[in-house]
Chains A and B, each alone.
Chain A
Amino acid sequence: MLPDVNSIGPFGFLFILRIALVVLLYLVILQVVAVARRDLRRAAAAPAGAPRSGTVVGHLVVIDSGSTPLVPGSRLALDPLTTIGREPTSTIVLDSNFVSGQNTRIYFKDKSLWVEDLGGKNGTVVNGQRIQAPIAITPNSEVQVGDVRFKVTP
């Protein structure tokens, strides 16, 4: 039911209306900012909280082992943060002259797996293209590190 225009006086009622309109616009802004803040908080909390290390977020299947002693067809587990390189401290050690010490990083963010090149000489190739920036991968993507090729599986 609308208020009686006469009883408050037309301009009294209009005054309330026009202030309400401006206030409403600010409420819209406030609501959007609240949502944005929640998003940012969740994003900030995600890397620490989301997948605990030790959980397996996917696997790499060796397609071509190159000059490493890996057996084609073997499955390697992916941690939420997996490093690939020749250095023995890497999560997955690839003993090959075509692989740099710290070659590639695969991590879990925003519900998908990402591949990042760490600046090795031969780089990282995803689905036939050498990557410049982190790129999201899906199951069946092909990742090549040095002369070793993997297929991503769940």
Chain B
Amino acid sequence: MATATQRIEPRPVRRVLIERRRYRWTELRLLFLPAFFMLLGLLELQVVQSTEAGATTTTLPPLDAYVPAFGLIAALVLTHLALNIIAPDADQVLLPIAGTLATIGVLMSLRLGPAVDNTALGVKQLVWVVLGLGLCIATVRFTRNLDWLRNYKYTWAIAGVALVAITLVNGIVFKHSFTTSGPSRDVLYISFLGFAFQPSELLKILLVVFFAGYLSENRAVLALDGYRFGPLNLPPFKHLGPLLTVLGVALLVIVGVRELGLAILIFGLALSMLYAASDRPMYVVTSLILFAVGALALYTLFPYARDRVSIVGNAFDPGTASDKGYQIVQGLIAFASGGVFGSGLGLGHPTFVPAATTDYIASAFGEEFGFAGILALIGLFLLLIYRGMHVAANARDDFNKLMAIGLTAVFALQTLVILAGNLKIMPLTGVPLPFVAYGGSSVIANFIIIGLLLRVSQADG
């Protein structure tokens, strides 16, 4: 915040140098290693390819094979330069961490593309990352003042729910079976652009904005006692009305398109933000009771949800392991076969697992980079979440704070839900691993979230 107070205040010279140095050197320095990682990873892929082709001589990989690597590095550096101009005081660690994760994503797509008969997969993912970085910059640029986001909070919430509702209507119109086994993907095809995206990815962000706007205005009331019910202290439902309505409608629509993972995500999101805003454990208790009721209802309603739950217990049973539990068992085998340091990028067989590029990207990564690699990946996610909370702690008002908490919770919950699903700790749901899993909507939405976090961390509006 470029207050005039800065000018009149005498400080030691060194401090002034640190404060006045506007160039984002830390960010640039942190981008160096991910770039090196990308180049080295691509080199390994090329060497593996040439050894498999029988060329054991010094046939060096052709330089044009490095286009994806240089493209990604250039995009990251350009984003860094743009941030220098439009948000010089924004957090300098968020972009490097997101960039590292996106690098891993592009590298895995490049590696898995040929194995799943889609050589363009890596390039496609690269295009999504570049688009995402562009939208991240646009987000930082055009949300100069986050207040207008808050002022239109109901509009955002309705728009988000409506987008997902379109896919629900589509499903009914095209007689997409609602009672049968599998979960559907809420994909919205915009046919005249030849373009498809998942509106639910956008819904997450819009709901965070709504919750942050509503809760920041009603914080004081929510912290009060509501009704006493025996030993329980129930929240003041009257003031929670709009919030519960939006949450309820969103959950109904999501359950309508049968994205149970997303439902868990949205519910967890609302709960974290409610708790952060009110600082009352009673909300957690009440919500968990509601969650149990809802989960039980869905369990009885959807046969495939019952399958998913039972698989956690009996995946290795004969009969299950080769049928319904096939994916999860193969995934665990992939993790196990990686050992401590992994089979090496390009040297494993990650495509034995169905959906290795999306839902099971973690097992593909775990097989080729090993236990050490998976630990590093989880470490990177932890740092991303730490940084999001750091931004929240330093935010200038309640709305910014709550928004940063909500956006960070999106990353945290998604990582938790999909990794726990992959490792057979909880029922598997199709939530993408942020930045790493292949998928345009998810990568772009995640970079928009990074853009919003950067905007919150740039203190002056």
Of the candidates A25, A29, A50, A108, the one having the most CB atoms from chain B within 10 angstroms of its own CB is: A25
Which residues in A have their C-beta under 8 angstroms from that of B396?
112, 135-136
B301 CB within 8 Å of chain A: no
Size category of the B interface is 35 or more
Closest residue of A by beta carbon distance from B57 = A6
Find out whether the CB atom of B390 lies under 8 angstroms from the CB atom of A39. yes
Which residues in B have their C-beta under 8 angstroms from that of A10?
47, 51, 56
Given A6-B56, A6-B57, A56-B8, answer yes or no on A24-B36 (Cβ-Cβ < 8 Å).
yes
* Chain A contact residues, CB within 8 Å of chain B: 2, 4-6, 10, 13-15, 17-22, 24-29, 31-33, 35-36, 39, 50-51, 55-58, 108, 110-113, 132-133, 135-136, 138-139, 153-154
Contact of B345 among A18, A32, A133, A135 (CB under 8 A): A18
Sample of 10 A–B contacts (CB below 8 Å): A20-B40, A22-B341, A22-B373, A24-B33, A25-B373, A28-B34, A108-B5, A111-B459, A135-B397, A139-B4
Given A10-B56, A19-B341, A35-B93, answer yes or no on A25-B380 (Cβ-Cβ < 8 Å).
yes
B91-120, CB under 8 A of A: which get 1 and which 0? 011001100100000000000000000000
> Which 8 residue pairs spanning A and B have beta carbons closest together?
A154-B4, A18-B344, A25-B376, A112-B1, A136-B396, A17-B44, A58-B5, A10-B51
B9 CB within 8 Å of chain A: yes
Given contacts A6-B57, A17-B43, A39-B390, 4 further A-B contacts (CB under 8 A): A2-B60, A20-B40, A57-B5, A153-B4
Query: Restricting to B369-393, which residues have a CB under 8 Å from any CB of A?
Result: 369-370, 372-373, 376-377, 379-380, 383, 386-387, 390
**Shortest beta-carbon distance from B391 to chain A in Å:** 11
Number of A-B contacts (CB under 8 A): 151
Contact of A136 among B36, B43, B459 (CB under 8 A): B459
Find out whether the CB atom of A2 lies under 8 angstroms from the CB atom of B342. no
Which residues in A have their C-beta under 8 angstroms from that of B175?
none
Contact of B30 among A5, A20, A35 (CB under 8 A): A35
Contact of A29 among B1, B8, B344, B380 (CB under 8 A): B380
Find out whether the CB atom of B3 lies under 8 angstroms from the CB atom of A139. yes
Find out whether the CB atom of A5 lies under 8 angstroms from the CB atom of B4. no
Which residues in A have their C-beta under 8 angstroms from that of B11?
50-51
Contact of B37 among A24, A51, A57 (CB under 8 A): A24
Which residues in B have their C-beta under 8 angstroms from that of A55?
9-10
Find out whether the CB atom of B48 lies under 8 angstroms from the CB atom of A14. yes
Which residues in A have their C-beta under 8 angstroms from that of B386?
36
Given A14-B44, A25-B380, answer yes or no on A154-B97 (Cβ-Cβ < 8 Å).
no
Find out whether the CB atom of B397 lies under 8 angstroms from the CB atom of A36. no
For the complex, give the distance between the alpha carbons of A139 and B2 in Å: 10
B1-45, CB under 8 A of A: which get 1 and which 0? 101111111110001000100000010011001101100110110
Contact of B387 among A29, A36, A136, A138 (CB under 8 A): A36
Find out whether the CB atom of A5 lies under 8 angstroms from the CB atom of B93. no
For the complex, give the distance between the alpha carbons of A57 and B19 in Å: 16
For the complex, give the distance between the alpha carbons of A14 and B11 in Å: 53
For the complex, give the distance between the alpha carbons of A112 and B377 in Å: 36
B219 CB within 8 Å of chain A: yes
Find out whether the CB atom of A28 lies under 8 angstroms from the CB atom of B33. yes
Given A28-B100, A51-B9, A136-B459, answer yes or no on A22-B383 (Cβ-Cβ < 8 Å).
no
For the complex, give the distance between the alpha carbons of A41 and B370 in Å: 34
Find out whether the CB atom of B341 lies under 8 angstroms from the CB atom of A18. yes
Find out whether the CB atom of B30 lies under 8 angstroms from the CB atom of A32. yes
B177 CB within 8 Å of chain A: no
Given A18-B44, A21-B37, A135-B397, answer yes or no on A32-B97 (Cβ-Cβ < 8 Å).
yes
For the complex, give the distance between the alpha carbons of A150 and B57 in Å: 79
B245 CB within 8 Å of chain A: no
Contact of B3 among A39, A50, A113 (CB under 8 A): A113
Find out whether the CB atom of A21 lies under 8 angstroms from the CB atom of B345. yes
**Shortest beta-carbon distance from A129 to chain B in Å:** 10
Find out whether the CB atom of B9 lies under 8 angstroms from the CB atom of A29. no
Which residues in A have their C-beta under 8 angstroms from that of B40?
17, 20-21, 24
Closest residue of B by beta carbon distance from A139 = B4
Which residues in A have their C-beta under 8 angstroms from that of B383?
29, 32-33, 36
Find out whether the CB atom of B5 lies under 8 angstroms from the CB atom of A35. no
**Shortest beta-carbon distance from B263 to chain A in Å:** 32
Query: Restricting to B39-80, which residues have a CB under 8 Å from any CB of A?
Result: 40-41, 43-44, 47-48, 50-51, 56-58, 60
**Shortest beta-carbon distance from B19 to chain A in Å:** 7
**Shortest beta-carbon distance from B249 to chain A in Å:** 29
Find out whether the CB atom of A111 lies under 8 angstroms from the CB atom of B3. yes
For the complex, give the distance between the alpha carbons of A26 and B376 in Å: 6
Contact of B220 among A21, A36, A110, A132 (CB under 8 A): A132
B394 CB within 8 Å of chain A: yes
Which residues in B have their C-beta under 8 angstroms from that of A132?
219-220, 398
For the complex, give the distance between the alpha carbons of A21 and B58 in Å: 22
Given A24-B36, A25-B380, answer yes or no on A17-B3 (Cβ-Cβ < 8 Å).
no
For the complex, give the distance between the alpha carbons of A55 and B15 in Å: 16
Given A29-B376, A36-B93, A50-B15, answer yes or no on A112-B56 (Cβ-Cβ < 8 Å).
no
